[in-house]
Structure 1
Amino acid sequence: MNASPPTAASFQARDERISWRTTAFYCRTITPAAIPARAPLLVLGGGLQTRHSWARLEQRLAPHHPLLIPDLPPARAPGTDPLNWDDLTDAALHTLDQLGVARAAVLAVSSGYPVGYRLAQRHPGRISHLMLFGASPKPAPRLAALIREGLHRTDQAAPAPPARAYEAERLVALLTNPQAAGRNLLMRAAAKVLRHHLLAAPDDPLTAYIRDRGALLLDQPLPPGGIDGVPALVGVGAHDTTTTVADNRAVAATIRGARFAVLDDCDHLLHMERDAEFATLIAHFLRRNDTAPLPGCTTETLH
């Protein structure tokens, strides 16, 4: 795959308005100039990621592969009924239906993984490939405690105003690996980008994280029953403390024949820290149902 930045004519991007139930959201659709005969890639990002959070992946994949990147509705939007994993899965499936996509590959990262997993489990005929990164059967204890704290705050009638910088730092410290980042420039740079993104949000970072999808992580992110019949790849950064190697392996073990990949020198933000290798893994798997031989990446097949 050509890893160089695309030219302006390499692909076309536009926003499609998706009407779902009583609300609507937007999906960024990206079409290569030379449309290949392959299923588009549905990208389901993690907490507080938007359809504009995947510029690096777009640069590397968009010239060669159609992409669909929806902004799924927040799980706890003020003034609306709370949504659960089934609701978000239905919203993702409705995105495909409204766009006329009969079959798609799915890339689901972090808290996007429970949605991607359910799509493949419940609609295997609609999913050509499943790729999960940063997956865990349940949130790590420190993250679960912070989510419960955030829920308590948002449920209060008049919560005390939080210190935005303090909340951002706590989330960055939980969603990255500060100890490993001390020895890795790319990991420190990715943490800086995350910090800036959290501080730029209109709400305080923890409240925004809880309302987006964080609260749902306490409610069975990994459904029972497993997956069979869908080519799958599960990947994780070797220094991920948010969803550890063991956590991701446990999720991969529920998918028959899943490929499992561990990338060195990165943590939970591996799609930013090793973006070239991340894109290469995805592109290779989409073409060959197998993982690419990459330096600093170990892979195996789980039975």
Structure 2
Amino acid sequence: MRTAAVATQAPPRVESSRPAPSAPEHAEERELVFGGFRYTCRIVRQGAPQTEPLLLLGGSSQDRHSWQSHEKWLAPLCTLITVDLPGYGSSDFLPASYGIGFLGDAVQHMLTEIGVPSVNLFGGCFGEVVGLRFAQRHPDSVRRIVFGAAASRLPEPYSEAVPRLTQTLERGDIEGAAEGLVRLFMSNPEAGKVRRHAAVARLLQRQFVNQTQDEIRKAVEHNIRLVTHGCYEPLPVPRVPTLVFTGEYDTLCTPDMGRELAATMPGALFTTVKEADHLVTVERREESADLIARFVTDRPVDGLPYCDEVEVPCPGTLALAQA
């Protein structure tokens, strides 16, 4: 097991009506083993937290370092935890025979190992798939839930693209696969105004083209895992404050699919972020960080200038102070 300290970032601006938050103490990395597979988590500790630790589970192309650009807004509020689960990032390769339940249990293993009894959970895209299964299997470990760019079923464009992308990668046509992945994740520019659309498209293209052979192998296995096991099981969901959001122009996990997901969790809130698509947390970093921060610190999320109206797709008995 390794622990490494790194420098922290400066705290962000805060609302004048709230006390200035404390700067995060330091970041460390822990190397762990679950089910025989090595994996690594990153912890940015906050000595004077305003809420429970925030666990950030990103998409399949993101790793434990992908959220560092959000830290300046989130780390002053609470301890942050990111992770390369088995099969992703720099962690060990995980055969597709291991499903989503295994990954959800790996999340619980990590929290137990690092001594964190409960978290605020954020899951984006594939991170929602793992996060929801983790919450269903370990409900006592979750205090609040935020899901972004998420759905309760595999998007049809993804299911259709997987065989084609897999064949393209197996042929060694990395450029072709990268172009296909950019088209899959990003909206058509004619759909509506999306912040930083061209810049994010170039960023994704470079990221996909520069993948190592290990990353490509894991990406192929990830696609097989999702198609084989699916992404949703109708298990009970913890009755905790929950928010689902997506970009208003998300063509992969559409707003209607986000509403469907929110409807499976009584009392969950749903909203769309303006001028964004599936890559909402990249295109609108500050706004998405602010939305997450508000929700996990029990501040209102209605009436925000960067969001559309807040909805409650499935009203329930759970009282949510955020609405």
TM-score (norm 1): 0.87
- Determine the structure 2 residue equivalent to 1:124: 139
Q: Match of 1:17, as an amino acid?
A: E
CA contact (8 A) 1:3 1:276 kept: no
Q: Does 1:65 align with 2:39?
A: no
CA contact (8 A) 1:88 1:115 kept: yes
CA contact (8 A) 1:181 1:188 kept: no
Give the gaps of 5 or more residues in structure 1: none
Among 39, 43, 47, the alignment partner of 1:25 is: 39
CA contact (8 A) 1:106 1:131 kept: yes
Over 3 Å counting, the alpha-carbon distance change for 1:90 and 1:278 in structure 2 is: same
Question: Aligned with 1:277: secondary structure?
Answer: helix
Fraction of identical pairs, as percent: 29
Among 182, 186, 199, the alignment partner of 1:189 is: 199
Distance 1:181 1:97 in 2: 44
Question: Aligned with 1:70: secondary structure?
Answer: strand
Question: Aligned with 1:147: secondary structure?
Answer: helix
Equivalent residue pairs, number: 295
Q: Deviations over 1:27-76 (max 9, x none)?
A: 010012x4316321111111121001112211211122111101011179
- Determine the structure 2 residue equivalent to 1:46: 59
Among 276, 290, 312, the alignment partner of 1:301 is: 312
TM-score (norm 2): 0.82
Report the alpha carbon displacement of residue 179 of structure 1 after superposing the two structures with TM. 2.1
Q: Does 1:161 align with 2:176?
A: no
- Determine the structure 1 residue equivalent to 2:68: 55
Q: Which moved more, 1:180-189 or 1:85-94?
A: 180-189
Question: Aligned with 1:296: secondary structure?
Answer: coil
Distance 1:24 1:78 in 2: 9
Compare relative contact order (CA 8 Å, sep 6+) and give the higher one, 1 or 2. 1
Distance 1:150 1:238 in 2: 26
Q: Match of 2:247, as an amino acid?
A: G
- Determine the structure 2 residue equivalent to 1:253: 263
Report the alpha carbon displacement of residue 84 of structure 1 after superposing the two structures with TM. 0.4
- Determine the structure 1 residue equivalent to 2:129: 114
Q: Does 1:214 align with 2:230?
A: no
- Determine the structure 2 residue equivalent to 1:95: 110
Query: Hey, which bits of structure 1, 4+ residues long, moved more than 4 A?
Result: 75-81, 150-154, 180-183, 204-208
Distance 2:160 2:216 in 1: 12
CA contact (8 A) 2:295 2:301 kept: yes
Distance 1:161 1:196 in 2: 16
